[in-house]
């Protein structure tokens, strides 16, 4: 490793050779503004906000792509000339930007707005013609507003990184825009609804569809019994919306806030995750014993399922038939809970809080309902829940802890780690190993499948049988495993796929962090660490040990894989065109 001595703003520093100016500055506590840069995904130097001066170089250079390759390099990041150019750049961006900030969903969390504040830009000095396009509201999961787009191409890069690439740059010059090919609406292209474009967009050009008004309306309706359930990862991310450190567990505060919002019951989707393991583990064992289609692939992630339906429809038989934890939880609320509480399921409104905007699509899928009723009625993101809490005037940070309601309020550690890549696999292994060995195994940490590597693999000897597994997240990585299966070269029996890189902790509905945080802080690892910490602290760490899971099988479902379980907890898939 060759190290170089350099100067930044007159101060001496030492950095590794070929480190970019942006990275060198970040390593030494100096923030250089960016709008287009996404580390390893969108390194194009297009927005020009990161312009810096290098002594001896011709003109200003883009810090995000300029490598430091010589001893004694002198860099300046904050001269009057640089500040002038950055301010002018912002004024040019605003000259063709919808500046209705007060009503924008990204107000107070917009990178463009923040930079305008920092550089003293309060109006545009460049007035004239502006482009205008109608918002695309065609999908269930997001709204695309081209008038707020600054052509940074972060969304294009994120979509390409997901191996989907349904959006890109169209037209040229002043008429350039980010849209689908041939100006198609998003609902007419094979978008998988992952929402990764929304978490990287620096402005309000791409936002989730806001369903909070529907939830407030349901809560205010005296004829409705409104039940909410929260996904495993929400407890590790919601605090970020209120200024708490990344990776802070806020389970108790979250439950208290939901009760203050007026929900009649607050349940834990960890219960649904445990239920998923019971059904999925049973399905895997049956496939192994009865010569079923292998490898079996998890079906918890609706973006991944939709990707398979669009791009690898021939591999649909490899998908587990199990519904996702969201859907299982909703199905049980409208059947088991409804009977226990003596409430007509038609009077129950089920609201899910999910890390994933694809869940908004999932609740409308065919074969995800019973007697004409959806398993879940409304799905909102982590961001939408935070908005509801703020709208209601609830002081989240100061709230005392509260507990989930009983019947579906206990979740195991296995359920908690569903929110991190590798968590579903580890949870399944904890139960499958016990079932196949007939023992209560004490070692429940399958650390080989943890972490954020592109593809993780391991082989476990369970009851004398070698089980070879693989775990991946991000659809680009999933495609590699699917191509192996297609070619007949897959060595695995069980594969976990999560649509979003890093799993649900990095889902498209999670809190938005600005580029300077997203680029240099490992959000996935910090958020996942909170879930593994929660797992360690819980009384039950295996799905089949959860007493409420035992009760629902004893009293209602019979046994995992039963006819009633299949009727309520399993689903089917469809082939979709590209």
Cα separation of 310 and 164, whole Å?
10
Decide if pLDDT at 1 tops 90: no
Residue 512 — pLDDT band, cuts 50, 70, 90?
A: very high
Question: 225 - beta bridge partners?
Answer: 348
Token duo for residue 422: 């590798």
The sign of the CA dihedral 310, 311, 314, 320 is negative
Characterize 434-468 residue by residue with b for buried, 16 or more Cβ atoms within 10 angstroms of its Cβ, and e for exposed. bbbeeeeeeebebebbbebeeebbbebeeeeeebe
Residue 464 — pLDDT band, cuts 50, 70, 90?
A: confident
Percent of the chain whose predicted confidence (pLDDT) is above 90: 95
pLDDT of the residue at 284: 95
Residue 84 — pLDDT band, cuts 50, 70, 90?
A: very high
Characterize 353-362 residue by residue with b for buried, 16 or more Cβ atoms within 10 angstroms of its Cβ, and e for exposed. bbbbbbbbbb
Comparing CA positions, the residue from 552, 576, 491, 240 lying closest to residue 381 is 240
Q: Which CATH class is domain 3-78?
A: alpha beta
pLDDT of the residue at 72: 96
Decide if pLDDT at 122 tops 90: no
Cα separation of 363 and 326, whole Å?
9
CATH code given to domain 213-569 = 3.40.50.1780
Decide if pLDDT at 372 tops 90: no
Residue 125 — pLDDT band, cuts 50, 70, 90?
A: confident
Q: Compute the average pLDDT of residues 532-554.
A: 97
Cα separation of 451 and 453, whole Å?
6
User: How many degrees, rounded to 5, is the angle at CA 352 between CA 346 and CA 354?
Assistant: 160
pLDDT of the residue at 257: 98
**CB-based contacts of 324: which residues, under 8 Å, 6+ apart?**
272, 276, 299, 300, 301, 302, 362
pLDDT of the residue at 369: 87
Decide if pLDDT at 203 tops 80: yes
Token duo for residue 557: 């479902």
pLDDT of the residue at 577: 78
The sign of the CA dihedral 391, 394, 395, 401 is negative
Decide if pLDDT at 517 tops 90: yes
> Domain 102-208 is of which CATH architecture?
2-Layer Sandwich (3.30)
Mean pLDDT, rounded, of the chain: 96
- Per-residue pLDDT reduced to its tens digit, 38-49: 999 999 999 999
Token duo for residue 47: 């927005």
Look at 372 and 559; give whichever has higher pLDDT. Answer: 559
Percent of the chain whose predicted confidence (pLDDT) is above 70: 100
pLDDT of the residue at 480: 97
Cα separation of 36 and 57, whole Å?
23
pLDDT of the residue at 87: 96
Q: Compute the average pLDDT of residues 312-340.
A: 98
CA distances from 65 to 10, 20, 233, 492 (A): 21, 6, 34, 40
Decide if pLDDT at 124 tops 80: no
Decide if pLDDT at 578 tops 80: no
Q: Which long-range contacts (CB under 8 A, 24 or more apart) does 80-87 make?
A: 81/53, 82/51, 82/52, 82/53, 83/119, 85/48, 85/51, 85/60, 86/33, 86/49, 86/51, 86/115, 86/119, 87/119, 87/120, 87/121
Decide if pLDDT at 342 tops 90: yes
Decide if pLDDT at 570 tops 90: yes
Decide if pLDDT at 436 tops 90: no
- Per-residue pLDDT reduced to its tens digit, 238-253: 999 999 999 999 999 9
pLDDT of the residue at 134: 93
pLDDT of the residue at 462: 82
Show me where the domains of the chain are located.
3-78, 102-208, 213-569
**CB-based contacts of 369: which residues, under 8 Å, 6+ apart?**
375
pLDDT of the residue at 108: 93
Residue 170 in contact with residue 178, Cβ under 8 Å? yes
């Amino acid at each position: 490793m060759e190290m170089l001595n350099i100067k930044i703003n007159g101060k001496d520093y030492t950095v590794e050779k070929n480190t970019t100016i942006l990275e060198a500055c970040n390593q030494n506590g100096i923030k250089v503004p960016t709008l287009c840069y996404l580390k390893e995904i969108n390194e194009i130097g297009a927005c020009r906000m990161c312009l810096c001066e290098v002594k001896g170089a011709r003109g200003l250079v883009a810090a995000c792509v300029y490598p430091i390759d010589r001893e004694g390099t002198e860099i300046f990041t904050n001269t009057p000339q640089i500040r002038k150019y950055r301010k002018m750049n912002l004024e040019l961006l605003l000259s063709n930007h919808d500046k209705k900030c007060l009503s924008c969903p990204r107000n107070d969390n917009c990178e463009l707005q923040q930079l305008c504040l920092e550089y003293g830009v309060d109006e545009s000095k460049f007035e004239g013609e502006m482009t205008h396009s109608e918002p695309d509201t065609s999908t269930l999961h997001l709204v695309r507003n081209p008038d707020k787009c600054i052509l940074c191409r972060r969304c294009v890069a994120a979509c390409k990184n997901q191996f989907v690439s349904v959006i890109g740059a169209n037209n040229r010059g002043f008429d350039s825009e980010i849209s689908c090919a041939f100006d198609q609406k998003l609902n007419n292209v094979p978008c998988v609804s992952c929402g990764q474009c929304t978490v990287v967009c620096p402005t309000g050009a791409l936002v989730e569809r806001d369903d909070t008004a529907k939830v407030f309306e349901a809560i205010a309706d005296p004829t409705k019994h409104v039940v909410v359930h929260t996904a495993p990862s929400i407890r590790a991310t919601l605090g970020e919306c209120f200024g708490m450190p990344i990776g802070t567990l806020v389970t108790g505060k979250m439950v208290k806030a939901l009760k203050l919002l007026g929900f009649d019951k607050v349940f834990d989707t960890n219960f649904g995750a445990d239920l998923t393991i019971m059904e999925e583990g049973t399905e895997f064992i049956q496939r192994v014993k009865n010569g079923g289609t292998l490898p079996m692939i998890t079906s918890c992630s609706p973006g991944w399922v939709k990707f398979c339906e669009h791009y690898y429809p021939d591999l649909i038989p490899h998908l587990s038939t199990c519904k996702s934890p969201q859907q299982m939880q909703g199905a049980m609320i409208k059947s088991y809970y409804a009977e226990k509480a003596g409430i007509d399921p038609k009077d129950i409104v089920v609201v899910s809080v999910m890390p994933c905007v694809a869940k908004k699509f999932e609740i409308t899928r065919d074969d995800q309902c019973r007697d004409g009723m959806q398993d879940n009625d409304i799905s909102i993101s982590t961001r939408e829940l935070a908005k509801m809490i703020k709208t209601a005037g609830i002081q989240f940070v100061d709230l005392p802890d509260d507990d989930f309601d009983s019947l579906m309020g206990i979740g195991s550690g296995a359920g908690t780690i569903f929110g991190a890549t590798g968590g579903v696999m580890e949870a399944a292994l904890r139960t499958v190993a016990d079932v196949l060995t007939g023992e209560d195994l004490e070692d429940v940490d399958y650390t080989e499948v943890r972490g954020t590597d592109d593809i993780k693999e391991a082989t476990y000897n369970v009851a004398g049988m070698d089980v070879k597994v693989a775990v991946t997240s991000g659809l680009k990585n999933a495609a590699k495993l699917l191509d192996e299966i297609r070619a007949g070269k897959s060595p695995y029996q069980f594969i976990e796929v999560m649509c979003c890189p890093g799993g649900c902790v990095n889902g498209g509905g999670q809190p938005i962090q600005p580029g300077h945080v997203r680029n240099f802080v490992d959000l996935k690892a910090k958020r996942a660490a909170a879930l593994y910490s929660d797992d360690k602290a819980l009384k039950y760490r295996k799905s089949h040990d959860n007493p409420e899971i035992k009760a629902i099988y004893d009293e209602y479902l019979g046994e995992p894989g039963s006819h009633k379980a299949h009727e309520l907890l399993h689903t089917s898939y469809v082939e979709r065109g590209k």
